[in-house]
Structure 1
Amino acid sequence: MGFIMSVSLDHRAPRVPAAALLAFLVLAFAITWGVIGSYIYWPDVMTARFGAISGAHPFFFLATWAPAIAAFAVVLLFGGLSGLRGFLSRLLMWRCPAPWWGMILVVIPLVFMAGSLIKGGPLLAPIPPEGVGAVVALMFMMLLLGPIEEFGWRGVAQPLLQRFMAPVWAGALIGAIWGIWHLPAFYLAGVVFAEWSFLPFFIGNVTLAILVTPIFNAARGSLLLPMLFHWQLINPFWPDAQPWDTWLLVGVAAVVVWWKRDMMFTRMGAVTEVIPGEART
């Protein structure tokens, strides 16, 4: 029996150590803050050499993808190609209790609609002159922006933090880090963040990171569901509901935390694996 157990353990994926969290954060911040900071401090030089930055500029994609790039680097370092394959297999994990699918598909859109109505806006975002097709194309393009970040935030950071703290605190900490990571964009002309106020955005990041945490754990570490959650937040069909969407989401998060307090304030059942089947040694 002991021999059989040792053989099975030998076939497990190598464990990504908790110290990898620091490497992940350093690399993610270095890429994003390096790219965006260059445009803030040397705007004329960067614009002359690489063109004005905007939401469609390759450097904007690079800055946005930094958490994913850092996540892949960490997984490759500690797990190799087989570890990366295991990591990416989390994209195929779709099984989750129905209420969490309802949160993604129904509650999030309703929050935007309600927030818009409160401020006297429409139920859905106005259709541009180019027609519905342009909005659909933009919606799918959004899959290549914010949702890609989830390879880092939920792919690496959440499991590593949940080895040491309850999910609610892990989510709150990731949300705070997530908000600070965005900070340079608020000083950059030519992108949407330049028109926003940072404090409500920061509060929203913390709230959203807490709200996606029980979805992530209920889906046993799925990357698919957090990505769909993130996608809904930037879906161009939903109307502008600022700042009411933030305050409504704070209320929704408070209800969810109270409702699932048994899983939010204890590490029992929390996902701690970056690579499925990691060795425990």
Structure 2
Amino acid sequence: MNSSANIQSSLSGRAPRNETKILALFLVLTFGLTWGLATLFLLFPDQINAVFGEVSFSHPLILLAIYAPGIAGVFTIWRYFGLKGLGSFFHRLTLWRAPRLWWLFLVLGIPAVVFAGAAIKGTIRDPFPFSPWYQVLPALALALFLGPLEEFGWRGLALPFLQRKFSPFWAGLILGGIWAFWHIPAFLISGMPQTTWSAGPYFLGIIAISVILTPLFNSSRGSLLIAILYHFQMMNPIWPDAQPWDNLLWIAAAVLIVWLNRRTMFKRGLGVTDVLMPNDPGRLSA
């Protein structure tokens, strides 16, 4: 697949070919798979439902559409960095160190924002949605292995590549816009929860949480683990319904976090740019 020189270049964490083409391949695969499946749902809903059942998060085609960024990210890493590079990429799942304030935000700050949004909406006192309580366990497992695996593509590949060309703020903002745009089919397919939500606040909220994740991602040296946990917390099924107020609060939080991190957010070269494990002893030097 690669020449010896290309393998050495790829294992250094830098792409052996034009980075724009690599990022384009990832985006074409991601949008092609998700939007292609969405088109089938829109054109042949009765036939698909007859074969696979009603739309839900356990629907195999819905799962495939959601996993598209992760699948595309892993494939693209394998295509350009080889199997050894893919192993180094997954090694980023072992990175867990981040400043304590970021861990505090991850564990307590995210639910605080969601519950504040629910308080504004008036749903904070709604009964716990799982009865008996242990039914929450499979829901948590599904939430952990559903949307968060998108991060193999979004933060695993796309954000480091964008940060090679832009400052962290602009890279996070651009990726947030792409990420929000990718979600459009969810508002068109009957049975998806987004069909009952306000699109404007949702899209702005997606961009905001992308911007917020960017300094957290960089402070953890590009941890895939922390990106996945962040994504999980954002869609944790135990949180109360706070749409659209939580999205508006995320916009305010993004403004505050960007200001607090202003010294690193607006300077190119201060973000994580490696797609492979930093200082991985198993990879070759350029």
Q: Same fold (TM over 0.5)?
A: yes
Task: Specify the code of the residue in structure 2 equivalent to 1:202.
Answer: F
CA distance in 2 between counterparts of 1:73 and 1:170 reads: 22
Q: For 1:190 and 1:260, locate their aligned partners in 2 and report how far apart those are by CA, in whole Å.
A: 39
When residues 105 and 279 of structure 1 are mapped into structure 2, their CA distance, relative to the original with a 3 A threshold, is: same
Residues 194/76 of structure 1: CA separation in 2 closer, same or farther (3 Å cut): same
2:164 aligned partner: 163
1:94 maps to which residue? 96
How many residues are paired up?
273
Q: Secondary structure at the match of 1:171?
A: helix
How far residue 111 of structure 1 moved from its aligned partner, in angstroms, is 0.5
Residue number in structure 1 paired with 2:183 = 182
Stretches of structure 2 lacking an aligned partner (at least 5 in a row): 1-7
Contact kept? 1:15, 1:78, Cα under 8 Å = no
Which letter maps to 1:197? S
Q: TM-score, normalised by structure 2?
A: 0.90
Q: Match of 2:114?
A: 112
Shift of 1:47: 2.3
The letter for the 2-side match of 1:236 is: P
Choose the corresponding residue for 2:68, options 66, 69, 76: 66
Alignment partner of 1:38 is 2:37: no
Residue 255 of structure 2 corresponds to 254
Task: Show the 5 A alignment for 1:1-281.
Answer: 12-13=11-12, 15-16=14-15, 17=17, 18=19, 19-122=21-124, 126-128=127-129, 130-277=131-278
1:11-46 deviation per Cα after TM superposition (whole angstroms, max 9, x unaligned) = 944632412100000000111111121001221232
**AA aligned opposite 1:151:** F
* Distance of 1:87 and 1:198 partners within structure 2: 34
Per the normalisation by structure 1, the TM-score is 0.91
Which sits farther off after the overlay, 187-196 or 24-33?
187-196
Q: Shift of residue 99 of structure 1?
A: 0.9
Stretches of structure 1 lacking an aligned partner (at least 5 in a row): 1-8
Q: Distance in 1 between matches of 2:130 and 2:227?
A: 32
Measure, in 2, the Cα distance between the counterparts of 1:95 and 1:255: 23
- Contact 2:88–2:277 (CA under 8 A) maintained in structure 1: yes
Q: Please, what is the CA RMSD of the aligned residues?
A: 2.0
CA 1:10–1:160 in 2, change beyond 3 Å: closer, same or farther? closer
Give the partner amino acid of 1:75: I
CA distance in 2, matches of 1:131, 1:35: 35
Equivalent residue of 1:189, what SS?
A: coil
